[in-house]
């Protein structure tokens, strides 16, 4: 009987800890094909692929990526936002925390050269009714593969 009680306590503690760990990682991952060409006149310059959105043109083009807010009651921003890009040249990404009325509350910017992960600086404030929007400038032939955002709990 003692062994059963100790086992019950261990299982209960493990379940509690696993719940705490999963709650701490409030991350949403998006395939780059979730993003769209920013300018309608350039829609033909992009293709949605299994591995993201690709700029088919030789020139630089903007894509816009709406990011899902699933912690609307928490208005302290995000912990991290990473973007994986494939290609050659300069990649620039801008992240905006938007108020419910469409005005910009806070913005951040980051850039990198060539293939790899781009880490954008944190957003430390957002609006209860607001949203996030990201714009990235892709060089010719480049692909935006993945967006990973970690909201604060």
Position with higher pLDDT, 5 vs 75: 75
Share the mean pLDDT of the chain: 86
**Residues 39-53: tens digit of each pLDDT:** 999 999 999 999 999
Nearest residue to 149 (alpha-carbon basis) of 128, 129, 121, 127: 121
Query: What confidence score (pLDDT) does residue 153 get?
Result: 81
Query: What confidence score (pLDDT) does residue 19 get?
Result: 42
Q: How confident is the model over 132-153, as a mean pLDDT?
A: 95
- pLDDT tier at 24, thresholds 50, 70, 90: low
- pLDDT tier at 71, thresholds 50, 70, 90: confident
Q: Which residues contact 71 (CB under 8 A, 6 or more apart)?
A: 26, 151, 152, 153
- pLDDT tier at 9, thresholds 50, 70, 90: very low
Query: What confidence score (pLDDT) does residue 126 get?
Result: 86
**Residues 77-103: tens digit of each pLDDT:** 888 999 999 999 999 999 999 999 999
Q: What is the CA radius of gyration of the chain?
A: 20
Query: What confidence score (pLDDT) does residue 15 get?
Result: 40
Q: What percent of the chain is predicted at pLDDT more than 70?
A: 84
Does pLDDT of 7 surpass 60? no
Would strands 36-37 and 61-67 be described as parallel, antiparallel, or unpaired?
antiparallel
């Amino acid at each position: 009987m003692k062994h059963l009680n100790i086992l019950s306590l261990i299982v209960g503690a493990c379940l509690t800890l696993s719940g705490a760990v999963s709650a701490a990682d409030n991350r949403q991952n998006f395939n780059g094909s979730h993003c769209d060409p920013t300018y309608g006149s350039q829609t033909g310059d992009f293709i949605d692929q299994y591995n993201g959105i690709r700029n088919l043109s030789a020139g630089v083009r903007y894509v816009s990526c709406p990011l899902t807010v699933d912690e609307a009651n928490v208005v302290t921003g995000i912990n991290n936002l990473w973007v994986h890009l494939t290609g050659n040249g300069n990649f620039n990404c801008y992240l905006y925390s938007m108020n419910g009325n469409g005005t910009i509350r806070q913005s951040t910017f980051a850039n990198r050269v060539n293939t790899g992960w781009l880490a954008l600086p944190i957003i430390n404030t957002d609006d209860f009714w607001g949203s996030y929007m990201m714009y990235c400038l892709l060089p010719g032939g480049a692909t935006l593969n993945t967006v990973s955002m970690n909201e604060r709990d």
